[in-house]
Structures are given as structure tokens and as C-alpha cells.
Amino acid sequence: MTAHVLGLHTLIALTVALAALFLSRYEIPRPPVGKFVGSDIAIMIVALVAMPFAYLHIPVGIVVTVFGVVVFTIAQLTLAPVLGGRTAAIAAAVLVGGDVAAYFAGWEPAVLVLNDVAVVLLVVGVVNLWVQTAVTPAQVAALAAALTCYDTLATGLSSLTLDFVARLDGLPFAPVLATRYGADASLVGLGDCLMLTLWPLVAYKRYGRVAGWLAAGIDAALLAVAATAFLAGSGAIPLLTPLGPLIVAQWLFWRTRPVPAPSRPVVERALGEAIPAGVWVALADGEIVGEGPTPGSARRAARQSGLETVPVVRHRPAE
């Protein structure tokens, strides 16, 4: 059991690290939806709260189909800057098809692994998309506060979460990060993963390096306490019950401090609007070192030019 819990927390830490690495290197192509507003936060709250009820009361086939479409879409968007659009679509299709095939074949370890891959891609992609669309610390704090109330009721004061976990046991596209299913399940929900990953990145972007690392450190300390309590036999832990207030407290603290001048990415400082519309470019030290119609071709051009480091890949949508 200890190994499963430690493995789970390692997966959470890896997810946060991958999201931060992705943010520093890639930009997800997205439609011109503008910035985050209050209604977007309300929609996210409704979606995350409704998810357990959907699994409990809607036929499994419909739920799995809907979440399969979501996994394919977000996975393709997340992988596109890394692999290129066509390769990303193939990889996302293989992930979705493999998860379904493993389920029908009865390969539970494969389902667990593929579900985890899907959740990591979902978290990395969604968090980076939110940060790109300029979600504010206040909006994240509001989302955290709302989810705190929900998680306290659903996990701490009722059996909703336990019923939810029992229903999704072994299903493809289960919205949990897990190292073990069954009676002694070791898992954390998608909402928890999103908030654990989102706040450190938003704090780093808005308030600076110290705020970002402090947020990550608080996440790590909270997970250590939760792991200790779980191993001591406390049962299901409503992780957002303490995490939400901690996020709100950090927001209240940093909003009263002088905000450091935003350090524009090197690509922004050096290029501005110089990137040709509709073209992917690879950048190193503020210079274009390769370009092409896809992120993969831009990176290949950079390698062919003699670049040995991994470049930043940037894209400006066609007008």
C-alpha cells in the first residue's frame, strides 16, 4: 500500500513538473476565445461538480464515449506543439483506442496506465490552455473556494466520492490519477490534479518565481500530510478541503505585495509580431533557428541548422 501511495504522489509531482516544462517551451494552438471571465469559472465548477453525478446516473456507455471524445481532443491539442498536428492526432487516437481495447480485453494494468497517461495529458493541456488565456489568480482562488465546499460535502460528509470511485473502477477514461483500483484504491481526482497544478503556474506567472516555488512547496507538504493520514487509516481524504483555503490564503497574501515587472518571454522581447502568421518557428536565445508548417518540421529545421539544445516552439495563427 505504501508503494502505491508514494507512486501516486510521484505521478502528481511529475504532472506539475510536466505542465511547468510545457508552459516554458510550447504554446497550444487554440481558437480566438479571448481571456478567461467569471462565466468560464462558473462553467468549470459546474462541469467538475457534475462529473461524479454523470458517472453515477448516466449509462456507462454514454459517459465513456463522451469522456473518450474529451480525451482525444485535449490529448491532440496538448501533443500538437510537440509532435505536430498529424502525429498528435494519431497518438491521441492510439491512446483512446488502446484504452478501450485494454478494457474489453480485461487487461486492468494496461487500463490503469493508459488512464493515467490520459489524465496527465488532460491536466497539462487544460492548465496550459487556461494560463495562455490569462486566467487570473483571483479566478483560480474563486474556483478553489467553490471546489473546497463541494469536496468537503462530497468526500468528507457524504458517500458521493466513494460511490463515484466504485462506479468508475477499471473503466476507460476514468477521470482519476491512480496507482491502484479496487478496495484499497490509491487515486486522486481530476479536479484535485487540476488545482494542484494550476495554482503554482499561475502564481509563478503573476507574482514571480518565489510565489511559484512556494505554491509548489505547499502542494508537496499537503500531499505528504495526506499520504501519512491515509496510510494511518483515515480513509478517503477530501484533498481540496485544505488545498482550497491554502490557495485563497496565498492569493490574499501575494495580492498585497508589489508585483514584479512581468518578464516577457525571450521570444516576445526579440520578435514581437515578427513571427509570420500561420508558420511554426523554433527559437533559441531570442532568434528564429528554424521554421515550418508544423512544430515538428520547425524543430527538425533547427536541428539541421546545428542547434543542440531543445528550442522553444511558437506559432502565430493566420489572420
pLDDT at res. 102: 92
Asked whether residue 30 falls in the same domain as residue 154, the answer is yes
- Chain centroid to Cα 228, Å, comes to 25
pLDDT of residue 288: 76
Q: Are residues 232 and 276 in the same domain?
A: no
Verify that 39 and 97 share a domain, yes or no: yes
What 3-state DSSP class applies to 236? coil
Q: Do 172 and 102 contact (CB within 8 A), yes or no? A: yes
The domain boundary, picked from 225, 254, 283, lies at: 254
Confidence of residue 281 (pLDDT cuts 50, 70, 90): confident
- Domains: count for the chain: 2
Q: Please tell me whether residues 128 and 241 are part of one structural domain.
A: yes
Q: Which three cell numbers stand for residue 154?
A: 462530497
293: confidence class by pLDDT, cuts 50, 70, 90: confident
> What is the pLDDT, as a whole number, of residue 215?
94
Same domain, 106 and 174: yes
Q: Which DSSP state fits 261?
A: P
Which residue, among 172, 168, 150, has the nearest Cα to 68 in the 3D structure? 172
Label residue 35 exposed, middle or buried (CB < 10 Å: 0-12, 13-18, 19+): exposed
Chain position carrying cell 542547434? 307
Q: Does some domain include residue 168?
A: yes
Q: Is residue 259 part of a domain?
A: no
Same domain, 87 and 223: yes
For 190, the domain range is 2-254
- Grid-cell match 508589489, residue found: 258
**Average pLDDT of span 14-21:** 91
> Which CA distances in Å does 35 have to 119, 139, 170?
24, 12, 37
As given in the structure block, the three cell numbers for residue 242 are 485544505
Name the domain boundary from 254, 275, 305.
Answer: 254
The H or E element containing residue 38 is helix 38-57
How far, in Å, CA of 40 to CA of 199, rounded? Answer: 17
User: Is residue 20 included in any domain, yes or no?
Assistant: yes
Q: Confirm whether 39 is domain-assigned.
A: yes
- Please tell me whether residues 164 and 305 are part of one structural domain: no
Please state the separation of Cα 82 from the chain's center in Å: 16
Asked which of 10-24, 32-46, 294-308 is least confident by mean pLDDT, the reply is: 32-46
Indicate if 277 and 209 belong to the same structural domain: no
* Average pLDDT value for residue range 6-25: 87
Partners of 315 in beta bridges: 280
Cβ-proximal residues to 140 (8 Å cutoff; 6+ apart), any chain: 195, 198, 199, 202, 247, 251
Are 30 and 57 in the same domain? yes
- One domain, residues 250 and 270: no
CA 51 to chain CA centroid, Å, is 17
At 102-117, the pLDDT tens digits run 999 988 889 989 999 9
Same domain, 144 and 227: yes
Same domain, 161 and 291: no
Whether 260 is covered by a domain: the verdict is: no
Residue at 54 is within a domain: yes
Distance CA(319)–CA(317), nearest Å, equals 6
82 part of a folded domain = yes
pLDDT tens digits, residue range 146-203?
888 877 776 666 667 677 767 777 788 888 887 877 666 677 888 889 999 999 999 9
Percent of the chain residues topping a pLDDT of 70: 74
Q: 218-225 — which CB contacts under 8 Å span 24+ positions?
A: 218/246, 218/250, 219/12, 219/16, 219/243, 220/13, 222/246, 223/9, 223/12, 223/13, 223/196, 224/9
- Residue 288: count other Cβ atoms within 10 Å of its Cβ: 22
